[in-house]
Amino acid sequence: MTTKHSGMYAALMTGLTDEGTYDPQRQKSLTEYVLKQGLAGLYVGGSSGEQGLLDTSELLEQQRDVATLASGSSAHLIAHVGMPNLRDSLKLATQAKELGYHGLSALPPHSYPFSDEEIFQYYEELAAATDLPLLVYEVPIRTGRPIGLDTLVRILALPNVAGIKFTSNDLFKFSMLKRRCPDSAFFFGFDEIYLSAAALGADGGIGTTYNILGKLYVALHKAVSDRDLATAQELQNTSQIFVEALLETGVLPGMKAAFRAIGIDCGPTRAPMQMRVKNGDDIMAKVMQNPEIKKWVA
């Protein structure tokens, strides 16, 4: 896992109809665009795909569709399977294994204020359900609380647990965890400050904005590998121009507006998620015309 699953992965978005139901055709258009950007792979069914607003049946269908679309490509597929209950997580994990996915990842249980021990037991059972390598997911902005450092160390020591997707700005915790678990794979989830984690030894990134600017993030990862700090800083600054616009519109509504601006209709976000401003499409159309952004569009 630490070798195979490194590099930059798009946290794949979801195509919806105008009415907000899952749309295989819009998923196809979106996925085909992402696949041609030279990324290491796709992270399917996570927060960027509106997982928290989709039914398990829709996530299962999306898993199948993406597996078909990616067949024959070099993309590695990681299925996010973290649901509010373990039963649905196991359904998603089992199908991902059957479809030939290369790895799993999962949010910790987050519907209630679960203890660290309950979180540990959740990952223990999920990791044992298949032989696929599993990425733990540390994302306090989604779950409402960080997982304790000692608990993360215990989880990373479980069989089949191969690493972590770390989406937190607590980079000291990231470093401490990396020192304690040197054989684990470390992926960083905040696109706009990826360089900070890369400097601390991240093996790669998994991000939302990689969907549309994947080529930029591949170049950023290469610049870090080449120890070309000036280029890495320049690329990170460019990504931040894009992310600043998303903060005004709302990240996923803004991303879908950015795709519309380049001729790919992913549909709306699912209610109650909506654009934060009335002129969101105009904001994203303008940023997509910025020469520093436009040159990275696939």
List, as one string, the DSSP characters of 257-290.
HHHHHTT-----PPTT---SSTTHHHHHHHHHTS
- Pairwise CA distance, residues 231 & 99, whole Å: 39
- Pairwise CA distance, residues 240 & 91, whole Å: 37
Spell out the residues 6+ positions from residue 111 whose beta carbon is closer than 8 angstroms to its own. 84, 85
CATH topology of domain 7-226: TIM Barrel (3.20.20)
Q: What is the pLDDT of residue 3?
A: 43
Q: What is the pLDDT of residue 238?
A: 98
Mean pLDDT for each consecutive 10-residue tract of the chain (298 residues)?
74 98 98 98 98 97 98 97 96 98 96 93 98 97 93 98 98 98 98 98 98 98 98 98 98 98 98 98 98 94
Q: What is the pLDDT of residue 4?
A: 53
Q: What is the pLDDT of residue 1?
A: 39
β-bridge pairing 134-138 and 161-166: parallel
As annotated, the active-site residues are 137, 165
Residue-range domain boundaries for the chain: 7-226
Q: What is the reported pTM?
A: 0.97
